Structure 1
Amino acid sequence: MSPSSSPPRLAAAQPHTLVRGLTTRHVQFIALGSAIGTGLFYGSAGAIQMAGPAVLVAYVVAGLAVFLVMRALGEMAVRDPGAGSFGRYARTYLGPLGGFVTGWMFVIEMLVVAVADVTALTVYLGHWWPAVPGWVWVAGAIALVTGLNLVHVKVFGETEFWLSLVKVTAIIAMIVAGLAILVLGLHLPGGSTPGIENLWAHDGFAPYGLWGVLVSFTVVVFAFGGIETLGLSAAEAQDPGRAIPRAINTIPWRVLLFHVGAIGVILCLAPWTTVDGRSSAFVQIFDAVGLPAAAHVLNAVVITAAFSALNAITFSIGRMLHGLAEQGDAPEALARTNHRGVPVAAVGFVAAALTVGLVLDVLVPENVFVLVASVASFATVFVWLMILLSHLAMKRRIARGELAPGAFPAPGWPVAGWVAVAFMVGVLALLGASAQSRPALWTGLVTLVVLVATQRLSAGRRGSR
């Protein structure tokens, strides 16, 4: 084989060049695994406490909105599969301020999610080894994910593939086992009586009414946070025009199977009132029905999910920082890559930030997951809102004839786009409507003001020079 015909992933990387080392299989499982993490396994407990069994409705509605966001992102990613993804699209279609705020808000979002994953990881491992300090496990996880992300993007892709495969297999097995218990009418030793009537037998299907369902959105959207990482993988996909559409089009059935299906089954196995939020709702339910062995297996799975999330966070923040640096919105050193196409300085920054998260996890009080999830929900929903607004701006240019139509157009434009925008704005408003999540809204708004001021100040300095 001549040097000119070598595959892109084997070519020497330029100082700022990412290497296209992710196969279609990698991209699909990155998308698959991004929606199966701490938000589903651990955050679902808080959502169930807020809405009861009616939380299933919230997952369906939020999943539909997320699908619209991802189709909007997919159209832009297939058109321009470059570094920075939705941060660069916001800059292109909304201006420099939009790009700066979107990119840095995503970085903050992922760092806050990392703190949530750190919190969850200590809870999961504490289920087995309560005497071991949580920081020991977290320090080891940070070191391992940093090492994996410094080797080669293909190593990250392969790691996420197998971690996602474990999560997917476990959830499918859990759903099948739960359905078998329900269909066969098995009697379990835990004292609870499995049955579909558990969905309405304890104060009704919606014990807190419509308001409970609405408030649960502030935590439910957290379950889908990070799914936009799929857009960042386009810059390193070998065939983004094929991989991105195939991955995005799997989102509807993923939502139904892994969120609605899995949570629906566990709510049928035992009363939703047995969920207290002190550990994963999945683990608690299996303990409640007298299947501690299954609970232990599932605990191992949720540990895998948390580690997978930390691995994906390290990748996504590093790639976003690389894109911001290329646009001049972050230090230039963060754009540099080594001979393997890895943005080493950006990955190192993430490791340092995760270490800060480890310190915070040691210092902050326990049972802060719902508040942390709400803070992450603000940043997550804001980023999704900016993706939608960028897409609407792009579609207006296409309608005016300034751009050619894309190869993977989002459905239902412009109605679907504006409906999704209204949903995101509604979730942000709901953060302020609940006393529990109101601090998250204020924190998010202050962060937004700081980012806007920082960008304006930076732009003013560049202009004066």
Structure 2
Amino acid sequence: MESHEELERGLKNRHVQLISIGGAIGTGLFLGAGKTIQLTGPSILLSYMITGIIIFLIMRALGELMLSNLNYHSFLDFIADYLGNKAAFVTGWTYWFCWIAIAMADLTATGMYVNYWLPGIPQWLPEIIALVLLLGLNLVAVGLFGEMEFWFALIKVVAIIVLIVVGAFMIFTSFKTSAGTVNVSNLWSHGGFFPKGMNGFVLSFQMATFAFCGVELVGLIGGETSDPKSVLPKAINTIPLRIILFYLGSLFMIMSIYPWSSLSADQSPFVQVFSEIGIAAAASIVNLVVLSSAMSACNSAIYSTSRMVRSLAQEGSAPSRFTKLTRNRVPGNALVFSTLVIFIAVILNFFVPSRIFTMISSIATICFIFIWGMIVLTHMRYRKTKPELAAKGSFKLPLFPYTSYLIFAFLAFVLFVLALADDTREALFFSPIWFITLLGIYYFKFEQNIPIFNKIFRNSDD
């Protein structure tokens, strides 16, 4: 049967390592860091550190699940086994929606970034070109997806390393900037480490959490690595080091170079730093970095949504045609379907007010919190129902089950924080509509056997 065809295991160790790094570095760091610092101050460093620890624990739980059965290609397969088909149906389509929304935002951003260099062309043209290019590369082979992500991630990594090296040079030489002398004391000399008080510190967790959305993609690509037993643990175990280096390192340097109160909320601090040392093309360099970051996110969205749709189809929760693989052993129909939905979303973005678009993106972020919770819940169920198999594993979630409870407490805390902020409170209230809709579809398809739903969601074995 087509549903039993195997996806190509064409991702190499270097692909997975860089993809896992890229998944934890978004455009928000390059473009939104100034606004984030203005809202919170230096205490944002502590927010990122705490959030990073929780993300690492979630990834350890996911890694333990993925390595417990290498015949499974995504965490959706585990959810179906341990929590049931209804949970897998809701989780799968929710994860699909998360990445579709991310693709909507980043593909639109791609057109804006290209317009910086070519202001005369219509914004939709580079968006279409980017989408067709990424679809074509994903259709050829999973190795090309990995290669694209490798170079996208490498550009981001190089930009951050250069910033850290330049920042260290400025600190050691007491470099003079327009805002004063570069010094580590800038972190606490302008209102203290918590200049916005505990309220600002608490609200910063919504931004820190947003920054890590998509990091669980490492678990999804695990099924297509040539050596998952070696590659996955290495990618997951280096997450804390990457967080310290890329997020904390870059923000530490930025706030040491400039007092946090001197940073512009509307301009990338990367541009400010590079301009300060005399690099005239600083804006273009950062524009190239954020363009690669947006393309990377869209590339990951096309990849992840296609694999999720295929897994749903294998469970009978999506049309069976989406299980079909091409000669290159990639899910061609699922890739085209997800790309077309992303394309429709870009068209709608021209007509739908930005308020509504922001609402969709916020709901998707809340859905990511749901996804992380389901991964941890599945892991707890796995540990409870298969203790013998879990005991044999060499890659485990540390201090289980206490760390699981800690994760759930943190996710609940973030939802509480989202309820405090005006721009995310409405999304928090509207999110239940998405889950109610999915549960309704599942009820009519699987529990009531409504003919129209049976026709659309035909089981792949029929």
Q: What is the TM-score normalised by the length of structure 1?
A: 0.89
In 2: Cα distance, 1:449 partner to 1:279 partner? 40
Residue 53 of structure 1 aligns to a residue in which SS? Answer: coil
Partner of 1:413: 400
2:157 aligns to what? 168
Q: 1:203 to 1:441 in 2, by over 3 A?
A: same
Instruction: Find out whether 1:33 has 2:28 as its counterpart.
Output: no
Partner of 1:320: 308
Instruction: Summarize deviations over 1:406-435 as a string: whole Å, max 9, x none.
Output: 231111101011101111121122211222
Q: What amino acid sits opposite 1:324 in the alignment?
A: L
Q: Paired residue for 1:362, among 350, 354, 365?
A: 350
1:114 to 100, 103, 106: 103
Change (3 A) 1:46 1:236: same
Partner of 1:377: 365
**Aligned residue for 1:179?**
168
Q: Distance in 2 between matches of 1:382 and 1:103?
A: 11
Cα separation, partners in 2 of 1:32 and 1:403, compared to 1, 3 Å = closer
Where do residues 253-292 of structure 1 align in structure 2 (5 Å cutoff)? 253-287=241-275, 291-292=279-280
2:363 and 2:108 mapped to 1: Cα distance? Answer: 14
Show CA shifts across 1:312-337 (max 9, x none): 11111111111111111111111111
8 Å Cα contact 1:192/1:289 also seen in 2: no
Higher deviation after alignment, 113-122 or 340-349: 113-122
SS at 2:93's partner residue? helix
C-alpha distance 365-186 of structure 1, shift in aligned 2 (>3 A) = farther
State the distance in 2 between where 1:236 and 1:186 align: 48
Correspondence for 1:445 among 432, 438, 441:
432
Does residue 21 of structure 1 match 2:10?
yes
User: What letter corresponds to residue 201 of structure 2 in structure 1?
Assistant: V
The answer to whether the aligner puts 1:217 opposite 2:205 as a matched pair is: yes
Q: Quick check: 1:349 aligned with 2:318? A: no
Secondary structure of the structure 2 residue equivalent to 1:230: helix
Alpha-carbon contact 1:91-1:98 (below 8 Å) kept? yes
Distance 1:456 1:281 in 2: 50
Match of 2:459 in 1: none
**8 Å CA contact 1:67, 1:251 repeated in 2:** yes
How many Å apart are 1:20 and its aligned residue? 1.1
**Deviation readout 1:192-251 (Å, 9 max, x if unpaired):** 553323323443322222221222222221211111111111221111111111111110
* 1:22-61 correspondence runs (5 A): 22-61=11-50
Which of structure 1's runs of 4+ aligned residues deviate more than 6 A?
367-370
Report the count of equivalent residues. Answer: 451
| 1:73 equivalent in alignment to 2:62 | yes
Residue 409 of structure 1 aligns to a residue in which SS? coil
Aligned partner (choices 282, 304, 325) of residue 337 of structure 1: 325
Corresponding residue number in structure 2 for 1:153: 142
Q: Which amino acid aligns with 1:252?
A: P
Q: Which residue of 1 aligns with 2:460?
A: none
Gaps of 5+ in 1: 1-12
Partner of 1:428: 415
For 1:239 and 1:370, how far apart are their aligned partners in 2?
A: 39
User: Is contact 1:116-1:372 (8 Å) kept?
Assistant: no
CA–CA distance in structure 2, aligned partners of residues 206 and 125 of structure 1 = 38
How far is the alpha carbon of 1:162 from its aligned partner? 2.1
Aligned-residue CA RMSD in angstroms? 2.6
* Code of the aligned partner of 2:242: R
1:320-361 Cα deviation digits (max 9, x unpaired): 111111111111111111111111111111211221232244
Equivalent residue number for residue 226 of structure 1:
214
Change in 2 beyond 3 A, CA 1:82/1:213: farther
Give the corresponding residue for 1:8. Answer: none
Q: Structure 1 pair 66/370, CA: closer, same or farther in 2 (3 Å)? A: farther
CA contact (8 A) 1:167 1:305 kept: yes
Shift of residue 386, structure 1, vs aligned partner: 0.6
CA distance in structure 1 between the partners assigned to 2:404 and 2:90 by the alignment: 21
Residue 238 of structure 2 corresponds to which residue in structure 1? Answer: 250
Following superposition, the deviation at residue 164 of structure 1 comes to 1.7
Corresponding residue number in structure 2 for 1:10: none
1:219–1:374 CA contact under 8 A, matched in 2: no
Contact 1:270 1:289 in 2 (8 A): no
Q: TM-score, normalised by structure 2?
A: 0.90
Deviates further, 55-64 or 262-271: 262-271
- The answer as to whether partners of 2:36 and 2:207 remain within 8 angstroms in 1 is yes
Native 8 Å contact 1:42 1:120 kept in 2: no
1:81/1:45 Cα in 2 relative to 1: closer, same or farther (>3 Å)?
Answer: farther
**In structure 2, what is the Cα distance between the partners aligned to 1:121 and 1:280?**
17
Maintained 8 Å contact 1:47/1:220: no
Structure 2 unaligned residues grouped into runs of 5+: 455-462
Contact 2:73–2:224 (8 Å) recurs in 1: no
1:104 is matched with which residue: 90, 93, 104? 93
